[in-house]
Amino acid sequence: MSAQAAERARDHLGYSRWWLVVAAAAMMAVVSPYQYVWTAIETPIAESLDVPLPAIGLVFTLFVVFQAGSQYPVGEWRDRHGPRAITLLAGVLAGGGYMGLAYATAVWQVYLCYSLGAIGVGIVYTVAVNTALKWFPDRRGLTTGVGTMAFAAGSAAFVPFVRAHASAGGYADALRPMGLLIGVVVVAGALVLRDPPAEFVTGGKGEEGYERAGETYAPREMLKTWQFWLLYAMFVAGSGAGLMLTAKVIQFAASFDLSADVATLSAVVLPIAGGVGRTVIGWLSDRFERRWAIFGTFLLCGIGLFIALWAGAEGASAAFVAAVFVATFFWSPQYALFPALVVDYYGTPYSSANNALLYSGKIWGGVFGGAVAGWLVAATSWTTTFAVGGVLAVLAGVGAVALRPPA
């Protein structure tokens, strides 16, 4: 079936469909610092504005809310009108958000710039993931993994650059060129991407893997199935555990008096582990039942978080970094596995909107990973907070055992 799908795509495009994945991945890579670099610039921005760190602690939660919350209207638009116009807007918002942040002189300006940038990131994410899902009915796990891998691993190149400018007077010098790069790459990607013709794929999976008419679920129909709500609960729990680690890994390492080099290495490891995990697990999920891939990855993510707690308490720097790698490697694939499973269950024609509804669970995961985790640290301890995150990851994995395709 792969050869047949590739031939049909080439007949329509005039070139290999993999070039669309390359364009989508490039866009995902350049917008990824919004999620993965915040932990490195949070303190310098607070120092520059001469405000306490908690005053801007809401920024990461706002990012998650606007990035995830924007995806449903974006998905509805994209399913009807295609990806080009909305992606051009994303280039302006995501590039302009970092440029504006470099010149922000008040906390409200930081909130505004990061929130506008987050909407741009949400547009890019929706467009990129669903480009893979729409053009690759035969390799959903792999191609979604490649796109989301770029969102995770792409920021690894930015973390050392930003850390080198992580001072009250220096962070703006890093954000300005990054904002320009984001705008240029996303606009260029917008000119490349397009959707397949309506007859390319039509509904649920047929004998050869193509989708057949009569098994397509519109968003309202999907919301009536219990499978969606179980997936939603799992997504919230898993993303909450992973986003907590993403947002707070540097402060988490510092709480155990681990060195600044260990904290920096942990922050660099996050996007690398996430990128590799999404690609490898996504590829494997095309060959095995996807729900078991979800079960195994979340279970191992929780184990990784528990090991990180032990390693930090023991002052074992190498083990701590390794545990961060393991937890992220097995948490991050949820962003490849869940979109592919949604299309497996509910069809392709409404994939952008359907996946956006599920992805909105990241809002609640971000609330936990940012604001709630910060409150738990203050009310209890870092150990208790990360133990809760480990339990959430394990529960998300256990939920996969009950999953079945909708009747």
Q: Count of CB atoms within 10 A of residue 165's CB?
A: 16
Please say whether the dihedral angle defined by the alpha carbons of residues 75, 76, 79 and 80, taken in this order, is positive or negative: negative
C-alpha 78/C-alpha 72 separation (Å) is 10
Q: Measured over all CA atoms, what is the biggest interatomic distance in the chain, rounded to whole angstroms? A: 63
| Cα–Cα nearest to 34, from 281, 190, 243, 334 | 243
Q: What is the pLDDT of residues 375-393, one digit of tens each?
A: 888 888 888 999 999 999 9
Q: Sign (positive/negative) of CA torsion 78, 138, 233, 281?
A: negative
200 within some domain = no
Q: For residue 87, is pLDDT > 90?
A: yes
- pLDDT at position 325 is 94
In a domain, 407, yes or no: no
Q: Is residue 40 part of a domain?
A: yes
The answer to the question of residue 146 being in a domain is yes
Cβ atoms within 10 Å, residue 322: 17
- Whether residue 186 has pLDDT greater than 90: yes
pLDDT of residue 21: 87
DSSP 394: H
More confident of the two residues 308 and 171: 308
Q: How far is CA 119 from CA 70, 89, 236, in A?
A: 6, 10, 20
What is the structure's pLDDT at 199? 65
Domain that holds residue 91: 2-192+205-402
pLDDT tens string 316-368: 899 999 999 999 999 989 988 998 899 889 988 888 889 889 988 888 887 88
Q: Residue 246: name the closest of 364, 366, 336 by CA.
A: 366
d(CA 155, CA 35): 9
197: in domain? no
pLDDT digits (tens, 9 = 90+) for 126-157: 888 888 778 887 778 888 888 778 887 777 77
Cα–Cα distance, 10 to 72 (Å, whole number): 30
For the chain, give the number of residues.
407
Residue 2 has pLDDT above 90, yes or no: no
pLDDT at 213: 41
Asked if residue 134 is part of any domain, the answer here is yes
**CATH number of 111's domain:** 1.20.1250.20
Would you state the pLDDT for residue 42?
83
pTM reported for the whole predicted model: 0.77
198 lies in some domain:
no
- Write out pLDDT tens, residues 209-226: 334 444 789 899 999 999
pLDDT at residue 377 in the model: 86
Going by pLDDT thresholds of 50, 70 and 90, the confidence category of residue 96 is very high
Tens-place pLDDT, residues 267-293: 888 878 888 888 889 888 888 888 999
DSSP 190-254: HTT--PPPTTS--SEE-TTS-EETT----HHHHTTSHHHHHHHHHHHHHHHHHHHHHHHHHHHHH
Q: Is residue 68 part of a domain?
A: yes
Tally the domains of the chain.
1
Q: Where residue 26 falls among pLDDT bands split at 50, 70, 90?
A: very high
